[in-house]
Homo-oligomer: A and B are copies of this chain.
């Protein structure tokens, strides 16, 4: 039931601002962290800007390997997402503790998370703003979607542990002109 999505369509998953899990692998162990500060930076090639700081155990691994996976959780994972954001991979194997299953990615060594509806494989494209703002710029190299999931509502961190789940969809596509060329299905 897994489907590939063109990496150039990353904005469909990320522009709405869902909280993400970020996985890295140092070759010996996987780690995972929660991330709320990220944005689409450019449609094509698909670039994502995000904030991962030295206070995150993943920071060193991301710098050393230049690879990560952005995994998109749905509302049923809200408690795990919060707990993952409140403990450090220095102390524990967060995949095991939080009941997540690592799966092999295709373009990076960092693992996919089976429990997430989408996984975006990424490589670091630009580190120029890491020193000043802990901002990494990532290029999306592959997207895998789990088409079989019943729960599809993403969650958006409104701060302080409050998440807002996706609600009603409002389709204004009929008023779109400037970005029509991006719509091919």
Contact = CB atoms under 8 A, between A and B. Distances in A.
B158 A15 contact: yes
Interface string A13-38: 00111100000000000000000111
A96 to B, nearest CB: 18
A160 to B, nearest CB: 5
Interface residues of A, number: 62
A166 B168 CA distance: 7
A182 interface: yes
Interface in A44-86: 47, 49-51, 75, 78-79, 81-83, 85-86
14 contacts: A15-B156, A17-B39, A47-B133, A49-B133, A49-B135, A86-B175, A86-B176, A158-B169, A160-B176, A160-B179, A161-B171, A161-B176, A162-B172, A167-B168
